[in-house]
């Protein structure tokens, strides 16, 4: 079965944004293929980097892909093109998967509480770049990963899922990052499942199961 054959009106259409190797994207795609996200499908994979490895994998899988190069462009102009592409592809839920761009307020407003990001630390600890190395150098004993809604502040929106990873005596920042990445791949699927289930709602910053 191809990815396109999953298409059905009941499906949440995901728009994946990536800039690099795309292992989180691949984990999401594999979860859909394996039936772990039965009501989600990938509508489009967009990259701001033309030679991103994740984009090449998306093409090999027969997914719809689009390159929208960001270098040298004003953020608002580039974001307007990305928003237009997401809309043209009927995207309901945007998944940032190693997308190395800050989103403009206009982008965040275009998909209110419909943009997810994954970050390799237990937020609010260690936001920003090289979070695994930040955590390792700080000497924490436990770190992990966070999937959260994107708001206008960096690595700040309401938390959907977190998974913890113990820091071992034998770790360096690379071995730690590898173990965190494995948890990221589980966390992203879990977070998408929660959002598409319609069984959770935001109460302030808290994303909680509704008791209908
Ligand atoms: C991941 O560590 C993710 O948490 C961070 O960027 C990295 C992307 O990795 N936002 P990949 O491209 O998904 O393999």
Nearest CA to ligand 1 atom 14: 23
Top mutation candidate among 24, 28, 179, 187 for ligand 1, by most atoms within 8 Å of CB: 24
Q: Which pLDDT score, from 0 to 100, does residue 30 have?
A: 98
User: pLDDT band for position 72 (50/70/90)?
Assistant: very high
pTM of the predicted protein model? 0.95
Is 40 exposed, middle or buried, given 0-12, 13-18 or 19+ CB atoms closer than 10 A?
buried
Q: Where are the alpha helices (DSSP H) in 111-172?
A: 131-138
How far, in Å, CA of 123 to CA of 148, rounded?
A: 9
Average confidence (pLDDT) over 112-119: 98
* Average pLDDT, rounded, for the chain: 95
Kindly tell me if the per-residue pLDDT of 24 is higher than 50: yes
CA distances to 2, 26, 28 from 60, in Å: 11, 12, 15
pLDDT digits (tens, 9 = 90+) for 140-159: 999 999 999 999 999 999 99
Kindly tell me if the per-residue pLDDT of 66 is higher than 60: yes
Q: Which pLDDT score, from 0 to 100, does residue 8 have?
A: 55
CA distances to 2, 87, 183, 185 from 166, in Å: 37, 40, 11, 17
* 3-state class (DSSP) for residue 116: strand
The angle subtended at Cα 187 by Cα 184 and Cα 192, nearest 5°, is 125
Q: Which pLDDT score, from 0 to 100, does residue 10 have?
A: 80
Average confidence (pLDDT) over 31-56: 98
113 is annotated as an active-site residue: no
Average confidence (pLDDT) over 104-119: 98
Average confidence (pLDDT) over 117-130: 98
User: pLDDT band for position 4 (50/70/90)?
Assistant: very low
* 3-state class (DSSP) for residue 167: coil
Q: Determine the distance separating the centroid of ligand 1 and the alpha carbon of 165, expressed in angstroms.
A: 16
* Minimum-distance ligand 1 atom for the alpha carbon of 180: 2
Ligand 1 and 97: CB distance under 6 A: yes
Q: Which domains does the chain have, with CATH numbers?
A: 3-209 (3.40.50.170)
User: pLDDT band for position 9 (50/70/90)?
Assistant: low
Ligand 1 and 118: CB distance under 6 A: yes
Q: Which pLDDT score, from 0 to 100, does residue 149 have?
A: 98
- List Cβ neighbours of 151 (8 Å cut-off, separation of 6 or more): 108, 157, 158
Q: Determine the distance separating the centroid of ligand 1 and the alpha carbon of 45, expressed in angstroms.
A: 15
């Amino acid at each position: 079965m191809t990815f396109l054959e999953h298409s059905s009106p009941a499906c949440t259409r995901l728009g994946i944004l990536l800039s690099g190797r795309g292992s989180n994207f691949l984990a999401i795609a594999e979860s859909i293929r394996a039936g772990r996200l039965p009501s989600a499908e990938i509508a489009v994979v967009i990259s701001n980097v033309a030679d991103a490895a994740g984009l090449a994998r998306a093409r090999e899988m027969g997914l719809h892909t689009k390159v929208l190069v960001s270098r040298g462009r004003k953020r608002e102009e580039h974001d307007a093109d990305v928003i237009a592409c997401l809309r043209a592809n009927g995207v309901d839920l945007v998944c940032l998967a190693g997308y190395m761009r800050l989103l403009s307020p206009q982008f965040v407003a275009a998909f209110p509480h419909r943009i997810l990001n994954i970050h390799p630390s237990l937020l609010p600890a260690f936001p920003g770049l090289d979070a695994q190395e930040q955590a390792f150098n700080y000497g924490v004993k436990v770190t992990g990963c966070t999937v959260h809604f994107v708001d206008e502040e960096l690595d700040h929106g309401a938390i959907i899922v977190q998974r913890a990873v113990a820091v071992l005596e034998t770790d360096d920042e690379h071995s730690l990052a590898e173990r965190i990445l494995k948890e990221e791949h589980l966390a992203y699927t879990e977070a998408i499942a929660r959002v598409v289930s319609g069984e959770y709602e935001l109460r302030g910053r808290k994303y909680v199961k509704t008791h209908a």
